[in-house]
Structure 1
Amino acid sequence: MSQRGDRGGGRGRGGRADYPVGQARGGGGAGGPGGRGGGSFRGFGGRGGGGGGYGGGPPRGGFGAGRGGRGGRGGHAQVDYGLFSPQGQPPVANAALNSKAGAFVASLARSGFAGEFPRRPGFGTAGVNTVLRSNFFEVELPKVPLFQYDVDFTPDPKVQRMRKRLFQLLEDDPEFRNLFGTSSNLAHDWAKTIVSAKQLNLPNNRRTFTIRFHYADEQVTEASKTYTATMQFIRELTSQQLLSYCESNGQQYDSSVMIRALNIVLAKFPSSGILPNKKIINFGQSKFYIISPPDQTEDLGSGLVAYRGYYSSVRPSFGRLLCNINVCTSAFFKPQNLADLVYDVFGSQHGFMKGGIVHKSLNGLRVSTTYLGKRKEHTINGISSVACDQEMFDWSEEGKTASVSEYFFKKYNYKVKRGNLPCAYYWMPNRQKPGEKQKAFIPCELCTIVAGQIFSSFLTRSQTTRMLEVACRSPKLNAELITAEGLQVLGHTTANPILNSFGVKVNPIMEIVSARILPSPPVKYKKSTARIAPGTAQWNLRDVQFAAGGTLKNWVVMVMKEGAGNFPGGIGEVKDVVRKFSQMLKTSGVQVVNDMPRQLHLCIPQGKPDQMRKDAEVALRKTLNEICSAGKPNFMLVLLANDNQRVYSHIRTLVDCVYGISTICCQSEKIKKEKGQPQYLGNIALKANLKLGGRNHELGGTALQFLGNDTIILGADVTHPTAKVSVEYTPSIAGVVGSFDISYSVYPGSLRLQTSRQEMIEFLDEQVAERLTFYVKRNPSKKLPQRILYFRDGVSEGQYAQLNEVELPLLRKACAIASNKDPKYKPKISIIVCGKRHHARFYPTNEQHTDGKGNSAPGTVVDRGVTSIANLDFYLQAHVGLQGTARSAHYYLTHDEIGFKADTLQNLVHNLSYLFPRATKAVSYAPPAYCADILCERGRCYIQGLLMGRSDAAGSESSKGGKGKKMLNQEEERKAIMQEAKQAWGTGPKPEIKDTMFFM
């Protein structure tokens, strides 16, 4: 990135743009004369008003005469949607490798191969053939063996930061270094494992080293703690076994050990700080971020910055080993004085606790101080709720109560300058009361945030917008960054002495893979077929009626107000909006019995957050009781004043779990805005029809012929509490949805609370049994389905086997429950894992096969080249990406009794992507899994307090050492939090709505 120009006159706002690697920043929108030039992420803005200056590349900003009027808004960003076409690299797939892979898959069928997962029956052939580049790079394996050693430290360092420092001190030991000859022969994971390029001369294959622990800015003293590091030989690793695995069925060899060793070797360069002019930090074993120089960062506001980095991971593929490399952008804490962060987020003293999420996110933040005469790092647990001048504690040395400001003045002769700001605190043992903890306070102005700490909480709306601007890149730019910068940053080049020592090479040319583009299925409405232009995967609701319209009888409108009224025109303005909504429903085929429903206006009480939350719930209950006293409605339209999540969650919890009313909440500003109003009302109509029992659209022709009329499609997902925000031990939420007719377009669901952070679904048998029972109730056959197709979201590659071991038996148990243990009922079950949290990206090579924005055309499927060696998996991009580089969904068949062929499964999943019930376009992954995800999100509303860090349970604060309170043990606290969650959850969605799509 280049620097922006100096600020002159008024500043025009430029559009963000993607830019070619190595090129200067484009200008922002021009300001007045002398206006400020833009930066590379901002693109080429339009010219400002009043003879504004020009946006410019580096190092110059705008230029012009004296200060002028404020510049006009910048023009649209100029984004390069061209193809990624590196010189000298023709887009030709490896025909020999494809042929060899085809022969291998055919041999699996002949041999009767039966592995852990279903074998690949063949490669797909349907669709238009195309060729793509993909962000995988072939890895040449060493011809000599590698050697693995493990290191154990005594005593065991409990904190990872200490363990990492111990590895640094071990590497500094001359005797340790001499064993390896050169540091390039050594790589490790900063935790336990060492990979060596040479076999070490160790007596009895082990050796011990003594380490005097100290941090880099400390001196070794007599008080320095002594650790013993014991290094022991574990195994020899040869590449030949891994290569044989890549060319065979791979079931007799555990590739994970060698893969992990190679990833450790590849991570050594970016983790070592040897790249000139750039400081790199690693997050985990596979992500590496550039945190300096400063022009590599983007400010997100409120104390956060965005760092660009790269993901790197080795994985086996047929016939070779590949390294997957991708660009990644994450939010980090800005390295600055903590007081500046606190002031930016919380503002004045009265605003300290309004940022509860950010307050919780500071738990675990590392800060450095120097007030003791030397640099010292602390890990803080949060900030106080009152100012330094007012935060009082028992000063035992003086036998008095003192404020933090007074203590620092008398103890350290330091006068706190910003006493109106809160203190940072961390927990320490209470010397006066063993077994208890107390807070140790430090004024925020004495704390400096240590650089390189990732922010893992929620971003604000403005931060999210800025992050999207920074992270969103065209496919061409994304690919250019990987090849021009990523390979250099990661050290995946021939100039890397570490790779040279280990005999590893990474081919700098992206893999080229064969792909196919599947055709769109026909989308049917009541009396017509949707018009889908080629390559768009979308349509509109103009002149169509829903496939099956619901009935709207008794309904009400509730207008929420907070502060200033959101409908200045009063009841008349609301009536106008409601009239337009009713008309949209009628036009779309919904039977509206009463198009002038009752209106109720509710003003949300204002005040402190905690009191406001309680008052809002009381007011909501009172209004809902008033609504139901005149006859409970079957539908309610809520017009929200703003996007207050607390109010929204209260509404959802009450209408779902207490009153049982199908409800749509929408923003007043959006629904009354004339521009785009028909489309907005149309989107609301889609949701309303679903909640009223209708079906929006179906697929025609033979799109779903394979499923027949005896299949149920299930979707399942689990959502977990948010780290550093949610109360510890807050339960996870599992959602399961299921079809019930041959349209496969409507998916009611079942929700459950379960053990915190457990991915496998605990009560899957109960939830699936509910879906099977409802299937019998609503399906014309009145019989249980003979086939179950189970789409599972959120499961990582390392959990595929566990999924089969844990959830498959529960699926079978559900069948027994639903059939009253009929021994004859044994439906065929197939399990498909679908995921989007992967780093595979694909770049078209033919202009005719794009979506017009540089991404592959919708319907693109990849099942060879970068997929599993022997098992049935594939990547499918069914949708058109909204912006940036589109991400395909990855599907992996982990169990198959139905007997899928490649084309059958790929076409089925692609066609289902057009059946997401509340959209008029193909979506990015299978609707059953998508609906399960949305159902889980609805469940989060019911325990929103716990998820956002609020708890009334006795252990929620005391377990972390509340003043004068004994710690609860983990099991006691887990039970207390689960009980609190169950109390908030109640019985879940009421019977009146639980078998509808109330959650859409």
Structure 2
Amino acid sequence: MAGPNKKHAQAEKKPERSSNGSSSDSRDPTQRSMPKSIPRLDGNRDPSFGTVVDYTRPTDLKNISEFLGLGGWYQARGDMMSYNPRHANISIDIDYQMTIPSALPQRPKNFNTFGKECGIMLNTFNITKTPDTIVHQYDVHFTGDAKDYTKRVLLKKIWRSKGVKAALGEPLNLWVWDGNKLAWSGKRLDRDDTRITVDLDDEEGRPTKEGQRGNKHTIHLRHTRKVDFNHMTAFLNGQATWSNECIDTINFFDHVMREWPSQQYTQIKKSFFQRGEQRFDLGGGVEAFKGVFASLRPVLDDKFNKSLSVNVDVANGTFWRTQELTRAVGQVFNCTPPQFQTRFKQARSDWKNSHLKKDLRVFRRVGVSTTHLKGEQVMWTIDDFENKDVNEATFPDPDDRTRQITIARYFKNKYNVNCMPGIPVVRMTKKIRGGAVYMPMDVLKIDANQRYNTKLSDTQTSNMIKFAVTLPKERWAAVQQGVRLLNWANDPYLKHYGLQVNPNAAKVKARILPSPAVHFGAGSREAQLKPADMIAGRWRLDGRKFAVNNKDRPIKAWGVCCVVGRGAPPPPAVATFFQKFVQIYESHGGLVSAHPQHGKTPWMGPGNLSDGGEMVQKVWNQTGNRYNIPPNLLFFIVNDRNIDVYRRIKKSCDIRFGVASQVLQAKHVMSASPQYISNVCMKVNAKLGGCTSVAKSNLIPKVAPKSASIPTMVVGADVSHPAPGAGSGEAASFAAITVSADPHFAKYWAEVQTNGNRVEMVTTSNIDEHFGFMAKNWMQRIGRGKPPQRVLYIRDGVSEGQYAAVLEEEVRDMKECFKKLGCKELPKFTVVIAGKRHHIRFFPDVGKGDRNNNPLPGTLVESGCTHPFEFDFYLCSHVAIKGTARPIHYQCILNEGEWLAPELQSFIFEHSYHYVRSTTPVSLHPAVYYAHLAADRSRAHMSDNPVSSGKKESKADQQSSTGSSSRNVEIAPLMAMQNARGLKEVMWYI
């Protein structure tokens, strides 16, 4: 399928490149280039088939995104860079000696041979036979009586109508349709341009009445090409470049795999849920049940062939419970009908801005059916809730159009139904005669099998974890059950088109990488972890001292605020806890300065939440008065895990006073467990400039002897978005960047800022201000005035369609920062994408894993589920506390630093032992993990609810070409942290 022609592609690329220039006059630093404009067909008239389907929109490729890689995305979007796996080192010089490669780094010729070999079963199933018949592809367009031909429900109804099926020759000739604008058939229609007209009213036995809009629709089918399976084979063998023909073939494979399951089960993207499956109640009107996930992808398979494979895994779906809408509302708000009536009455004075209206948004787009019509159900979709009840909402009386009738009276007269007063009426998405349709809440029932899209509450999340977490043995049984549900051997579409899948899973030879030597501080009873602890993935801190203590920031003036209220610990319990804290902190090498008068006892006093931000002000003042110097550490003991209370405390400490703070739960203070106190000590030590341990590589000196002498900076970044649901369209995204702050890569600085609404790429202004600040710090404190020779940039969670944007925008902007700092020679960047949202799981041979048969820390897989050409790998660096371990997928998308594969793999694995607040290796590289923590902590710094005497900053309108937000949303920047005492120099976010 042809993308834009060359001239069009060039025209579109020009403004994009110029807007990325370094001149501050050329653009707003918060903005990036706008997305390319894409010509759209007008569905209300006869389509002119000028081009075949256009893949320039990322959403058109979301189902096959795993296939494309950098070159595939360039090809799909009509860029002039084309991908050939044999020409992987070609680069295109953009500007300022910054090169953007035309292809991703290729898989090294040799696999990692270090460590022990281990047999691993993967939840991937190889394609053993691809079609050898001719398949014809058709472009599909709909026209007719409907006003909107973007509604999938309508299109599906037309496509599946009897008239269309008969005209297409089904069931003898099985068609595959993508639900939008492409269809495939093994038989060519008589004409290249075919039109099929169907009258849905006639088919349903109710002809259109005079004066009503008709229900006739025409499907226009145009033959566009034959699917080229040979080109796909040549591409996988490295004998052909990326082409739109390849994308077409992949698209066909993806849809033919999903066609039959989608007709049998409830489909949500690539997951299928069997109707009638056992439900698990999560609370709040939401339930969960299990399904099967299936995704087709190209791989370097377990026989080292470049081929296709199907990834099968368990899918855990959340759905609305099928029940009366009033009951669901009661469960969501945890109230009775009279209590809900009271809440509605209180909210009506300012309905538009009320919390109730905002919280009711969770029901938007939920499908409901009426219950007042005996023997007949009419289906509707909720649009919103009105500031009227059934006695106030009116519409034209059907019996007398000259007057209005209330909903309550109409339902009483027409159906003898007494509607509940004092609750909002429901407005539907559908209009009748151009007017809004209102329905009483108590005659509606939520339809079955509807996905719940909003973020789960804490209770629901806890219940979901209990439901979803399963040990490897149970998960593998669920995968096998999923394979039985998919039933490939009897899939009529796979049979019809000649596609076969091996029902036996792929098995690969993995490597368990050598563990590093994890060192603690001098004077430790055991200064290095024993091999048994390394393999077990857990150890104790008893008798060990911190690798780096708080010698530059000893605890001097410190205070403890115990928040009063139910469950608060008594003063003696608080005093006992902090006596133990001093004892254990000092046993780990932490420094607590003795005051001439007060010794090592902190100021302790009560705090009242009703004081708001002034509670922290009082603690600050009283602690400072006691010691006659500004406090450098404050503790707060809270009674429960209330995120609002936590953020209020952090906001005051970080923004107003710039003081390190630690929040404790009352129940832990009263139990005063030594292990809990040790965990607190690790966090306090990091907030005062220390770190827990240092990992030294046993392998990298052998693999890359010069590595240790090359000045290297590690950078992590994460952009977190608001959870879907109420208000997410106006909520901020947060961009967090971390930079290694010592030669051992054990400590990290972190900077966070708002990043527009759902903008995925870190904006230029954020990189310029925040990364630039830390890069300058690094050069002054670690580089001795010089920049690093290489930068390892680990970016969390971007899709393949955004790899090019990471290089063209984020990396380019980071290099520009070094240029502004006066660096004559720019650092060489190696960029690695860390992905967690995948469905690959490792199942070791029995007896070769841990006690739950999860993989051991350091398990590396380079085949069976990896890309056919590109440099990627799956690494399980941690021990799963519960459930089945999820490895991290690392993909190298730029390697200017020329890291060798074993060097990079070991570096990432070994640093998982550096995480300062746990006595385990972690699943994700700490640079990214810390970015997650910093982004979450920074939510307390939002300026929409400032602390008392805090000032609201001006709003910044941030936008990116790679963001999903289609409109400008004003997002306020975070309030600046108080750095007078150097809070930003330490790990404040831990």
Does the TM-score normalized on the shorter chain lie above 0.5? yes
Map Cα deviations across residues 707-760 of structure 1 (whole Å, 9 max, x no partner).
435100000010011221334232311111001321101111111212211211
Q: Compute the TM-score of the two structures, normalised by the length of structure 2.
A: 0.78
Aligned to 1:290: 274
Higher RCO (C-alpha 8 Å, min separation 6): 2
1:767 Cα deviation after fit: 2.7
* Whole-angstrom CA distance in 1 between matches of 2:370 and 2:440: 10
Q: In the superposition, relative to structure 1, how do residues 395 and 257 fare at CA in structure 2: closer, same or farther (>3 Å)?
A: closer
SS of structure 2 residue aligned to 1:540: coil
1:272 Cα deviation after fit: 1.0
Q: In the superposition, relative to structure 1, how do residues 649 and 403 fare at CA in structure 2: closer, same or farther (>3 Å)?
A: farther
Q: In the superposition, relative to structure 1, how do residues 525 and 454 fare at CA in structure 2: closer, same or farther (>3 Å)?
A: same
Query: Of residues 299, 307, 313 in structure 2, which corresponds to 1:326?
Result: 313
Asked if the contact 1:249–1:869 (Cα under 8 Å) also holds between the matched residues in 2, the reply is no
Q: In the superposition, relative to structure 1, how do residues 565 and 383 fare at CA in structure 2: closer, same or farther (>3 Å)?
A: farther
* Whole-angstrom CA distance in 1 between matches of 2:663 and 2:203: 55
1:421 Cα deviation after fit: 5.6
Aligned to 1:369: 370
Amino acid at match of 1:648: Y
Query: Of residues 341, 344, 347 in structure 1, which corresponds to 2:328?
Result: 341
Asked if the contact 1:789–1:830 (Cα under 8 Å) also holds between the matched residues in 2, the reply is yes
Amino acid at match of 2:645: V
Amino acid at match of 1:365: V
Larger CA deviation: 115-124 vs 536-545:
115-124
1:828 Cα deviation after fit: 0.9
SS of structure 2 residue aligned to 1:542: coil
Asked if the contact 1:616–1:647 (Cα under 8 Å) also holds between the matched residues in 2, the reply is no
Map Cα deviations across residues 173-227 of structure 1 (whole Å, 9 max, x no partner).
435533344276211222222122222222xx22223344679999553434443
1:133 aligns with 2:121: yes
1:143 Cα deviation after fit: 1.0
Aligned to 1:511: 506
Asked if the contact 1:732–1:754 (Cα under 8 Å) also holds between the matched residues in 2, the reply is yes
Query: Of residues 497, 506, 510 in structure 2, which corresponds to 1:502?
Result: 497
Amino acid at match of 1:913: S
1:517 Cα deviation after fit: 0.5
Q: In the superposition, relative to structure 1, how do residues 719 and 250 fare at CA in structure 2: closer, same or farther (>3 Å)?
A: farther
Asked if the contact 2:455–2:724 (Cα under 8 Å) also holds between the matched residues in 1, the reply is no
Q: In the superposition, relative to structure 1, how do residues 633 and 446 fare at CA in structure 2: closer, same or farther (>3 Å)?
A: same
Query: Of residues 193, 198, 204 in structure 2, which corresponds to 1:206?
Result: 193
Asked if the contact 2:700–2:906 (Cα under 8 Å) also holds between the matched residues in 1, the reply is no
Mind listing any 5+ residue stretches in structure 1 that lack a counterpart? 1-106, 274-279, 606-614, 948-952, 957-969
Q: In the superposition, relative to structure 1, how do residues 193 and 430 fare at CA in structure 2: closer, same or farther (>3 Å)?
A: closer
1:734 aligns with 2:730: no
Q: In the superposition, relative to structure 1, how do residues 392 and 921 fare at CA in structure 2: closer, same or farther (>3 Å)?
A: same
Larger CA deviation: 361-370 vs 521-530:
361-370
Aligned to 1:860: 859
Amino acid at match of 2:469: C
1:462 aligns with 2:462: no
In the TM superposition, what are the counterparts of 1:598-613 in structure 2 within 5 Å? 598-605=603-610
Aligned to 1:795: 798
* Whole-angstrom CA distance in 2 between matches of 1:384 and 1:997: 47
1:588 aligns with 2:605: no
Aligned to 1:665: 663
* Whole-angstrom CA distance in 1 between matches of 2:713 and 2:202: 60
In the TM superposition, what are the counterparts of 1:739-750 in structure 2 within 5 Å? 739-750=740-751
* Whole-angstrom CA distance in 1 between matches of 2:615 and 2:412: 48
SS of structure 2 residue aligned to 1:282: strand
* Whole-angstrom CA distance in 2 between matches of 1:756 and 1:159: 28
Aligned to 1:23: none
* Whole-angstrom CA distance in 1 between matches of 2:636 and 2:773: 30
Aligned to 1:36: none
Asked if the contact 1:164–1:190 (Cα under 8 Å) also holds between the matched residues in 2, the reply is no
Q: Quote the RMSD (CA, aligned, Å).
A: 3.5
Asked if the contact 1:394–1:400 (Cα under 8 Å) also holds between the matched residues in 2, the reply is no
* Whole-angstrom CA distance in 2 between matches of 1:642 and 1:399: 59
Aligned to 1:805: 808
In the TM superposition, what are the counterparts of 1:126-165 in structure 2 within 5 Å? 126-139=114-127, 140-154=129-143, 162-165=151-154
Asked if the contact 1:383–1:425 (Cα under 8 Å) also holds between the matched residues in 2, the reply is yes
* Fraction of identical pairs, as percent: 26
Aligned to 1:724: 725
Q: In the superposition, relative to structure 1, how do residues 536 and 113 fare at CA in structure 2: closer, same or farther (>3 Å)?
A: farther
SS of structure 2 residue aligned to 1:265: helix
1:838 aligns with 2:862: no
* Whole-angstrom CA distance in 2 between matches of 1:807 and 1:111: 22
Larger CA deviation: 591-600 vs 368-377:
368-377
Q: In the superposition, relative to structure 1, how do residues 156 and 309 fare at CA in structure 2: closer, same or farther (>3 Å)?
A: farther
Query: Of residues 552, 560, 566 in structure 2, which corresponds to 1:557?
Result: 560
SS of structure 2 residue aligned to 1:152: strand
Aligned to 1:177: 166
Query: Of residues 490, 515, 519 in structure 2, which corresponds to 1:524?
Result: 519
How many pairs does the alignment contain? 831
In the TM superposition, what are the counterparts of 1:686-705 in structure 2 within 5 Å? 686-700=682-696, 702=698
Aligned to 1:896: 895
Aligned to 2:50: none
1:499 Cα deviation after fit: 0.9
Q: Compute the TM-score of the two structures, normalised by the length of structure 1.
A: 0.77
Mind listing any 5+ residue stretches in structure 2 that lack a counterpart? 1-83, 92-101, 301-305, 345-354, 595-599, 702-706, 947-951, 956-963
Amino acid at match of 2:473: K
Q: In the superposition, relative to structure 1, how do residues 663 and 159 fare at CA in structure 2: closer, same or farther (>3 Å)?
A: farther
1:681 aligns with 2:677: yes
* Whole-angstrom CA distance in 2 between matches of 1:670 and 1:404: 55
Asked if the contact 2:687–2:986 (Cα under 8 Å) also holds between the matched residues in 1, the reply is yes
Map Cα deviations across residues 408-461 of structure 1 (whole Å, 9 max, x no partner).
446754202x54665444478899xx9xx98x6533321111111111223233
SS of structure 2 residue aligned to 1:375: coil
1:242 aligns with 2:232: yes
Aligned to 1:228: 218
* Whole-angstrom CA distance in 1 between matches of 2:654 and 2:516: 35
SS of structure 1 residue aligned to 2:160: helix
1:137 Cα deviation after fit: 0.7
In the TM superposition, what are the counterparts of 1:815-830 in structure 2 within 5 Å? 815-817=818-820, 819-820=821-822, 822=823, 824-830=824-830
* Whole-angstrom CA distance in 1 between matches of 2:518 and 2:815: 34
In the TM superposition, what are the counterparts of 1:407-426 in structure 2 within 5 Å? 408-409=411-412, 413-416=416-419, 418-419=420-421, 423-426=425-428
* Whole-angstrom CA distance in 1 between matches of 2:965 and 2:179: 32
1:187 aligns with 2:185: no
1:710 aligns with 2:708: no
1:169 Cα deviation after fit: 2.2
SS of structure 2 residue aligned to 1:837: coil
Aligned to 1:645: 643
1:258 aligns with 2:249: yes
Q: In the superposition, relative to structure 1, how do residues 252 and 560 fare at CA in structure 2: closer, same or farther (>3 Å)?
A: same
Asked if the contact 1:793–1:929 (Cα under 8 Å) also holds between the matched residues in 2, the reply is yes
1:476 Cα deviation after fit: 2.1
Query: Of residues 485, 489, 495 in structure 1, which corresponds to 2:485?
Result: 489
SS of structure 1 residue aligned to 2:984: coil
Asked if the contact 2:121–2:505 (Cα under 8 Å) also holds between the matched residues in 1, the reply is yes
Map Cα deviations across residues 113-171 of structure 1 (whole Å, 9 max, x no partner).
88601112231111101221111111121111322222222379798983233223223
Q: In the superposition, relative to structure 1, how do residues 701 and 971 fare at CA in structure 2: closer, same or farther (>3 Å)?
A: closer
Amino acid at match of 1:135: N
1:531 Cα deviation after fit: 3.0
Asked if the contact 1:185–1:196 (Cα under 8 Å) also holds between the matched residues in 2, the reply is yes
Query: Of residues 293, 310, 315 in structure 2, which corresponds to 1:311?
Result: 293
1:109 Cα deviation after fit: 9.0
1:304 Cα deviation after fit: 1.3
SS of structure 2 residue aligned to 1:510: coil
1:252 Cα deviation after fit: 3.8
